[in-house]
């Protein structure tokens, strides 16, 4: 049983693009550990990245090699197009054992496949590539040079294919359903955790034609005075009357994300708060107006900042980030950011979460928009109205 | 508003225990990056570990310093007992930016607080301590020696206090409710994702008196032929008649976990499969019989292996692992394992997930038990009967 979400041909194009990137950096071998990058290149999908696993791309071989724990190799056979010989498991004695480290096994696989390799790229700042993973690899291969190939694959992922955008649209549909469920469930007296339950239920159920997956992160939900916080976890306290809630969520379809935040006000917001919401919404409109191929990330942020400064409001954090495939702990791709100084040029198929969140001294407001750049402008990945949601 | 799940005194005892461990390794400073360790020592709880954050313990100061992203420092004020001066945020320009790295900021904080520090401990194999995090720290502090203090805090966490065990019991209650919901929802024709939706709903709702939290991992659910896999993700395909499902889940209460797996058979299992289930259940009974203070981890596994080998069955993977506080990606504490060669001695307050999972060539079966060691033996953290669940 093979469970590929894309054609084998699409995977081979991706691998070719990565090899081109390797050639530019003169890498003989690339050791990929970020789960999203592994999934992107071969389809491997399991919750197994808490022990060492890697997809190794060799310039001297057509197909990469998957290395991982023995009990997870069955999943490699089921979810990737790799032939048996390119799936190389290590035994359980390497798992969380002081005497051995699975990076030693990875090194052996590399030396076996490409004994004359001179330069090996590694993802120095990738999640799940620990300081020790690297140290063991370096110690095991004293005769090669290591180069930081951080984000090489992430940048190949930056421009999405039509097939990828189709999954992101589906993720966006699920996001809308999740937010609808949250708004329906949340009211004064209801426990925060019961709102979360409604969100999760909608997230996994998806629609009649496709189901959802867990996203990289729990819903970020800040209630009451905790609306000042950016990434709080919900509690089992009841929602207070005359309070706000910031809810940031993402639907997930085959590991593709399309996040969204909204603020709910329980009661009647004061004029100042309504004004703040209006400024944020205007700012998003102003940002999206400049989104088109050829514009830069910085242009989008500048338009936002100009719109907000007219109201005397400033946002210190970046305005958004590239999105697509993601595994825990974040749905950001860690490549381009919508912020000052980022001159990355937008082109059709790049996708962002425009994260118009303000966290102030005494409160916060988050109304956001995920979008993909099209030939002429952008396509919104969610159609939930951009407004302050008031439950009075 | 301060949201501590434990008394300030309990945190101070924990910090003292860590300092004792540091003294044994002659560490002046310990840089803690594993989110579970940070939570354990100061209460900090946010989904912010996808950018650099650290709790830094100094031998020359009573209280540690929290370092993290500016937008998350509000959460540090709300969820920890640390005074304002011990919460040191870095600005957003350090976030996912090629020109700067937040580890440089961490280094500055250390040098400022303890300029004469000679030996600095780091958690070399901790999740979210990347190769680059370490390289930048080393480069920024050329005059100190770095020592691997991996698992130092994890081992302090190994023995749980009564207050911690109380939370683990609550987590176990939630786990039971989750499994009940799964068993109720799952039947031929129902989509796998709809079973997941039911599990998640129960997980967050918790009970009338306390709510749940997301666990470190999605439910590991292998349906049909995918029951051979250890950590598969569910899909939106309908459950087939005459098939099996392995479901591994964990309730979570204030970040404490109590995992459990069960196998559901849809239809009438053949005699061989029933036999397999009986062997596993006997094996668990045999393992638990030897659990008491003074026994070793290896003793537990030996008793299991002896019981199973009488039926000609072998399990290659470890039989279990220490549990407690956890953040994504795993609910294991990465310290003691129930396996051959692990001579760690059991004592009251240590807790394990006895993971009696068998993944065979053509099928799999998982019936497991989380427990905490007591004065005389053990206490089960879930009371769901250990049996093969048959839905005919």
Reported as a pLDDT band with limits 50, 70 and 90, residue A315 is confident
Torsion sign across C-alpha atoms B137, B138, B143, B147 = positive
DSSP A84: G
Tokens for B379, please give them.
């206490």
pLDDT in tens, A93-119: 898 777 899 999 999 999 999 999 999
Mutant choice from B129, B217, B229 vs A, greatest count of A C-beta within 10 A: B229
Q: Which residues of A47-62 are buried (b: 16+ CB within 10 A; e: fewer)?
A: bbbbbbbbbbbbeeee
Site from A3, A43, A47 to mutate, B interface, most B CB atoms within 10 angstroms: A47
Residue whose entry in the numeric block shows the structure tokens 């916080």: A229
Cβ pair B330:A148 closer than 8 A: no
Q: In Å, how far is B59's CA from the nearest CA of chain A?
A: 24
Which domain-ending residue is among B157, B179, B214? B157
Contact at CB, B134 and A134, closer than 8 angstroms: yes
Give B12's contacts (C-beta < 8 A, 6+ positions apart).
none
pLDDT (0 to 100) of residue A95 = 85
Q: What is the pLDDT of residue B48?
A: 97
Q: What is the tally of structural domains in chain B?
A: 2
- Residue in B74, B197, B332 closest to A228 by CB: B74
Q: Is the Cβ pair B193, A201 closer than 8 Å?
A: no
Q: What 3 state SS string does B307-323 have?
A: HHHCCCCCCCCCCEEEE
Q: Which of B204, B210, B337 sits opposite A196 (nearest CB)?
A: B204
| pLDDT for position A314 | 84
Residue B33 inside a domain? The answer is yes
From B277's Cα to the closest Cα of chain A, the distance in A is: 19
Regarding whether B264 and B294 lie in a shared domain, the answer is yes
3-state secondary structure of A310: coil
pLDDT at res. A364: 85
For CA atoms A179, A181, A185, A191, give the dihedral sign.
negative
Distance CA A92, CA A73 (A): 12
d(CA A48, CA B300): 25
Is residue B1 one of the residues assigned to a domain? no
- Report ipTM (2 d.p.): 0.97
Q: What pLDDT is recorded for position B133?
A: 97
CATH of residue B25:
3.40.350.10
A166, part of any domain: yes
B185-234 per-position pLDDT tens digit: 999 999 999 999 999 999 999 999 999 999 999 999 999 999 999 999 99
Name the percent of chain A lying above pLDDT 90: 93
Residue B108 within any structural domain of the chain:
yes
The CATH number for A201's domain is: 3.90.230.10
Per-residue pLDDT averaged across A54-80, rounded? 97
Give yes or no: residues A152 and A168 share one domain. Answer: no
How close is the nearest chain B Cα to the Cα of A73, in Å? Answer: 8
Cα(A153)–Cα(B11) distance, integer angstroms: 42
Find the CB nearest B220 among A47, A129, A229.
A47
Distance of alpha carbon A102 from its chain centroid, rounded?
26
Distance between CA atoms of B110 and A263, rounded to whole angstroms? 38
Do A236 and A310 belong together in one domain?
A: yes
Confidence of residue A360 (pLDDT cuts 50, 70, 90): confident
Kindly give the interhelix angle for A192-205 and B192-205, rounded to the nearest 10 degrees.
170
Give CA separation, A304 vs A198, A258, B315, in Å.
33, 21, 59
Interface touch B46/A232, C-beta < 8 Å: yes
> Are B50 and A133 an interchain contact pair (Cβ–Cβ within 8 Å)?
no
Taking contacts as CB-CB distances below 8 angstroms, the residues of chain B near A191 are 211
Chain B CB contacts of A247 below 8 Å: none
Token duo for residue B281: 């259940």
- Claim to verify: residue B257 and residue B184 sit in the same structural domain: yes
Measured in angstroms, the CA of A98 and the nearest CA of chain B are apart by 9
CA gap B337, B319 in Å, rounded = 7
> Using a CB-CB distance cutoff of 8 angstroms, which residues of chain A are in contact with residue B194?
204-205, 211
Distance from CA of B92 to the nearest CA of A (A): 6
The alpha carbon of residue A51 is apart from the nearest alpha carbon of chain B, in Å, by: 9
Range of weakest confidence among A213-222, A235-244, A362-371, B288-297:
A362-371
Q: What is the pLDDT of residues B142-168, one digit of tens each?
A: 999 999 999 999 999 999 999 999 999
Residue that finishes a domain, picked among B126, B157, B188:
B157
Range with lowest mean pLDDT among A163-177, A336-350, B85-99, B170-184 = B85-99
Nearest CA among B95, B353, B5 for reference residue A233: B5
Specify the 3-state DSSP secondary structure of A257: strand
Name the residue facing A131 among B71, B124, B226 (closest C-beta).
Answer: B124
How does the average pLDDT of chain A come out, rounded? 96
More confident residue, A364 or B69: B69
Which residues of B fall within a CB distance of 8 Å from A201? Answer: 197-198, 200-201
Q: What is the mean pLDDT of residues B233-242?
A: 97
Buried (b) or exposed (e) across A124-149, using 16+ Cβ within 10 A? bbbbbbbbbbbbbbbebbeebebbeb
Contact B331, A108 (CB under 8 A): no
Contact of B216 with B250, CB cutoff 8 Å = yes
Do A127 and B50 lie within an 8 Å CB cutoff?
A: yes
Helix (H, G, I), strand (E, B) or coil at A305: helix
> Is residue A170 one of the residues assigned to a domain?
yes
Q: Is the pLDDT of residue A1 over 80?
A: no
Per-residue pLDDT at A2 exceeds 80: no
Contact B373, B291 (CB under 8 A): yes
Tokens of B32: 């803690």
Q: How far apart are CA B309 and CA B176, in angstroms?
A: 30
Q: What is the residue-averaged pLDDT of chain B?
A: 96
State the average pLDDT over residues A153-173: 98
- Whether the per-residue pLDDT at A39 is higher than 70: the answer is yes
Which of B69, B204, B317 has its CB closest to that of A200?
B204
The most distant pair of C-alpha atoms in chain A lies apart, rounded to whole Å, by 70
CA-nearest residue to B321 within chain A is A96
Q: Is A79 in a helix, a strand, or coil?
A: helix
For residues A17 and A129, membership in a common domain is answered with yes
Among A114, A133, A157, the domain boundary falls at A157
How many C-alpha atoms does A236 have within 13 Å on its Cβ side?
Answer: 16
Contact A130 B130 (CB under 8 A): yes
Q: Which of B131, B223, B327 to mutate to test the interface with A (most CBs of A within 10 A)?
A: B131
**Same-domain pairing of A186 and A146:** no
- pLDDT of B361 higher than 80: no
C-beta neighbour count of B4 within 10 angstroms? 13
Residue B1: pLDDT band with limits 50, 70, 90: low
* Three-state secondary structure call for residue A198: helix
- Please answer whether residues A308 and A283 qualify as being in contact, where contact means their C-beta atoms are separated by less than 8 angstroms: yes
Same domain, A80 and A31: yes
Are A150 and B132 inside 8 Å of each other by CB?
A: yes
User: How many angstroms separate the CA atoms of B101 and B111, rounded?
Assistant: 16
Strands, E, within A235-345: which ranges? Answer: 243-253, 256-266, 320-323, 332-338
Residues of A in contact with B218 (CB under 8 A): 47, 213-214
For residue A308, give the DSSP letter.
Answer: H
Residues of chain A with Cβ-Cβ distance to B330 below 8 Å are 50
- The answer to whether position B2 is within a domain reads no
Give the β-pairing of B119-122 and B29-32.
parallel
Same domain, B180 and B131: no
Strand A364-366 relative to strand A389-391, pairing: unpaired
Please tell me which residue of chain A has the smallest CA distance to B92. A317
Mutation choice for B interface testing from A32, A39, A53, A131 by most B CBs within 10 A: A131
pLDDT for A3: 79
In a domain, B3, yes or no: no
Domain-embedded: residue A3:
no
Look at B204 and A217 and tell me if their CB atoms are within 8 Å: no
Going by pLDDT thresholds of 50, 70 and 90, the confidence category of residue B368 is: very high
Interchain CB distance below 8 Å, B231 and A337: no
Same domain as A108, residue A136? yes
pLDDT at B21 over 80: yes
* A74/B228 CB distance under 8 A: yes
Could you give the CA distance from residue B343 to residue B323 in angstroms, rounded to a whole number?
17
Residue B100 belongs to domain spanning: 8-157
Question: Do B360 and B282 fall within a single domain?
Answer: yes
Report d(CA B133, CA B112) in Å as an integer: 19
Number of cross-chain residue pairs from A and B with Cβ atoms under 8 Å apart: 234
Does the pLDDT at position A362 exceed 90? no
Name which of A86-95, B18-27, B293-302, B376-385 the model is least confident about.
A86-95
**Model pLDDT for residues B54-109, shown as the tens digit of each residue:** 999 999 999 999 999 999 999 999 999 999 999 999 998 898 777 899 999 999 99
Residue A282's pLDDT band (boundaries 50, 70, 90)?
A: very high
Q: Are residues B138 and B16 in the same domain?
A: yes
The answer to whether the Cβ–Cβ distance between A230 and B316 falls below 8 Å is no
Element (H, E) at B138: helix B131-140
Average pLDDT over residues B362-388: 95
A261 and A386 co-located in one domain: yes
The helix-helix angle for A8-24 and A35-42 (nearest 10°) equals: 120
Give residue B3's pLDDT. Answer: 79
What pLDDT shows up at residue B93?
86
């Amino acid at each position: 049983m093979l469970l590929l979400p894309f054609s084998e041909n699409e995977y081979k194009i991706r691998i070719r693009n990565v090899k081109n990137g390797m050639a530019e950096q003169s890498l003989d071998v690339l050791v990929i550990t970020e789960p999203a990058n592994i999934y992107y290149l071969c389809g491997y999908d399991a919750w197994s990245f808490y022990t060492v696993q890697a997809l190794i791309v060799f310039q001297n071989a057509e197909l990469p090699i998957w290395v991982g724990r023995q009990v997870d190799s069955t999943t490699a056979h089921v979810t990737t197009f790799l032939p048996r010989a390119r799936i190389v498991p290590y035994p359980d004695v390497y798992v969380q054992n002081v005497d051995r480290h699975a990076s030693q096994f990875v090194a052996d696989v590399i030396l076996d496949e490409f004994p004359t390799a001179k330069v090996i790229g590694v993802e120095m700042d990738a999640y799940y590539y620990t300081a020790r993973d690297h140290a063991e690899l370096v110690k095991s291969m004293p005769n090669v040079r290591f180069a930081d190939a951080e984000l090489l694959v992430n940048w190949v992922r930056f421009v999405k294919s039509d097939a990828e955008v189709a999954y992101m649209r589906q993720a966006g549909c699920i996001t809308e359903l999740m937010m609808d469920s949250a708004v329906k469930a949340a009211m004064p007296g209801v426990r925060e955790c019961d709102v979360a339950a409604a969100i999760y239920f909608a997230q996994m159920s998806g629609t009649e034609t496709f189901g959802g997956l867990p996203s990289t992160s729990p819903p970020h939900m800040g209630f009451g005075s905790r609306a000042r916080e950016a990434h709080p976890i919900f509690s089992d306290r009841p929602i207070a009357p005359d309070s706000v809630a910031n809810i940031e969520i993402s639907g997930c379809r085959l590991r593709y994300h399309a996040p969204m935040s909204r603020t709910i006000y329980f009661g009647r917001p004061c004029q100042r708060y309504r004004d703040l919401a209006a400024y944020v919404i205007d700012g998003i409109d102003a940002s999206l107006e400049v989104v088109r191929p050829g514009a830069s990330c910085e242009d989008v942020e500048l338009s936002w900042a100009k719109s907000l400064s007219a109201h005397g409001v400033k946002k210190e954090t970046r305005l958004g980030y590239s999105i697509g495939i993601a595994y825990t702990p974040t749905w950001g791709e860690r490549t381009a950011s919508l912020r000052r100084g980022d001159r990355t040029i937008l082109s059709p198929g790049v996708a962002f979460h425009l994260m118009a969140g303000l966290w102030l001294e005494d409160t916060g407001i988050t109304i956001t928009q995920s979008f993909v750049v099209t030939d002429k402008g952008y396509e919104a990945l969610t159609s939930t109205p951009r407004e302050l949601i008031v439950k009075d």
